[in-house]
Amino acid sequence: MNFPDISPELKAAMPELRGRLLGNEPLAPLTWFRVGGPAQVLFTPADEDDLGYFLSRLPPEIPVMCLGLGSNLIVRDGGLPGVAIRLSPRGFGEHRVEGEVVHAGAAALDKRVAETAAAAQLGGLEFYYGIPGSIGGALRMNAGANGRETKDVLIDATAYDRSGTRKLFDNAAMQFSYRHSGADPALIFTSARLRGTPATPDHIRAKMNEVQAHRELAQPIREKTGGSTFKNPAGHSAWRLIDAAGCRGLRIGGAQVSEMHCNFLINTGEATASDIETLGETVRARVKAQSGVELQWEIKRIGIAPDHR
């Protein structure tokens, strides 16, 4: 089932638009889980000016959701009403160094940003080497790994609000907490400036190798997965709670709790978004019953179930 196609009327109202505007575009290929329904409209802006123009002309009643790399995302099977915006590497993927500052577009891969910093002999950003996402997602969820978080390195970030106005946010204004930013969810982040620290190439490379080795040994990185599923509760490790509740290897439909790291869910090949989300909720219920701890989702879930259209 498709949504009503509103893309022609949007195009007509935006004659100077340069980006791609597609109606009922499948989103599953854009997520790491490879599941989910279509976006009513998928917009890929050409650059920041194009994004601002689009938002300024978009009727306020139409909902907007910005997609990142799709590595920490479940799109529900009923699809996403309104507009999904995807920032492309061509228009938003820059990563360059000026002094001790790394400039990174929201579509720049975290790993590439770490490599760019390393090439300039800047340390402190090695943790990004092990995060399978983009800088935009890192800003939205205060992405971190190996004891470091985005809040530890961010100078400021640029974003566009729902009216198409460009705004600058310093570190404090991002209201970072564990795997979360308190910035307005309607903001679409387009770039960031990150602070590095001079370090020797050997020191930086050793840290990056440590990050990569940890991922390869402990995480199912070659599966269709969405990264860490649940946040670590205070004083606990999510995977230990899940393991203690007997959920390692648990399956629902085509979705499975990873045998390798049980805070990862896997699409074994034929899973639906409903399979994956139901499995996650089953894990949460079993952990709650076994330990009294209520796990919180780290993976973002968007869209609607098919029977709610």
Candidate list 71, 134, 228, 274, residue with the active-site label: 228
Q: Collect all residues with Cβ–Cβ distance below 8 Å to 74 and sequence separation of at least 6.
A: 31, 33, 35, 36, 226, 273, 276, 277, 299, 300, 301, 302
The answer to whether residues 64 and 55 touch, using CB atoms and an 8 Å cutoff, is yes
Q: Per the structure block, which two tokens stand in for 183? A: 């910035």
Q: Which of 76, 86, 140, 179 is catalytic?
A: 179
Structure tokens at 276: 């994956």
Conformational region of residue 24, where left means phi above 0, alpha means psi within -120 to 50, and beta covers everything else: left
Q: Which of 48, 126, 277, 298 is catalytic?
A: 298
d(CA 295, CA 205): 35
How is 15-38 classified by DSSP, letter by letter?
A: TT--SEEEEEEE-GGGSSS----E
- Token pair recorded at residue 113: 């940003």
The residue to which tokens 């909720």 are assigned:
281
Task: Note if 309 is an active site residue.
Answer: no
Is-catalytic flag, 298? yes
Rounded CA separation 173/161 (Å): 14
CB–CB of 134/108 below 8 Å? yes
Cβ neighbours for 302, distance < 8 A, ≥ 6 positions apart:
65, 73, 74, 75, 76, 80
Question: Measured between alpha carbons, how far is 309 from 307 in angstroms, rounded to an integer?
Answer: 6
Active site residue 228: yes
Q: Point out the residues that are catalytic.
A: 179, 228, 298
